[in-house]
Amino acid sequence: MPKILIVESDVHTRELASAFLSGAGHSVSFADDGAAAMLDVLESSPDLVITEIMIRKVDGLSLCKRIKQDPKTEHIRVLVVSILAAVVRSREAGADGFLKKPLSERHLVDAVTSALGAQPQLMTARTDGST
């Protein structure tokens, strides 16, 4: 069962995402700020991190960069979610995908399935805009 870490300070959004992903067969854990999330990533090595951009202590884009720049964690997939239009900034941070809020069950589950099933070469091509 894939392990997913959701980094989100809004309790309602966490519960909604958890319901969607648990229903799709994923194991879900939470962090409500970027510093706690990075510790969790280093300790538990989740398969996927889903992070909001606007989180406390370490913002979501900085968290993504840290995950992708550390040789111990660079293999971990990262999806960025936000109400902000930040697709380009997310790609520049190394994200494997971006979802605009509000989240729908279908889009979230599809994005997670795609990120978890993608080969590293395909995800790199997808995030840097090349085909």
In angstroms, the CA 6 to CA 22 distance is 12
- Range name among 34-38, 42-46, 62-66, 115-119 with the lowest pLDDT average: 115-119
In angstroms, the CA 32 to CA 30 distance is 7
Q: What is the 3-state secondary structure (H, E, C) of the chain?
A: CCEEEEECCCHHHHHHHHHHHHHCCCEEEEECEHHHHHHHHHHHCCCEEEEECCCECCCHHHHHHHHHHCCCCCCCEEEEEECCCCHHHHHHCCCCEEEECCCCHHHHHHHHHHHHHCCHHHHHHHHCCCC
In angstroms, the CA 122 to CA 130 distance is 10
| Residue ranges of domains in the chain | 3-127
**Model pLDDT, residue 3:** 94
96-130: pLDDT as tens digits: 999 999 888 999 999 999 999 854 433 333 333 43
Name the CATH superfamily housing domain 3-127: Response regulator (3.40.50.2300)
**Model pLDDT, residue 98:** 93
Res 60 pLDDT > 60: yes
CB neighbour class for 55 (10 Å; exposed up to 12, middle 13-18, buried from 19): buried
- Predicted TM-score (pTM) of the model is 0.86
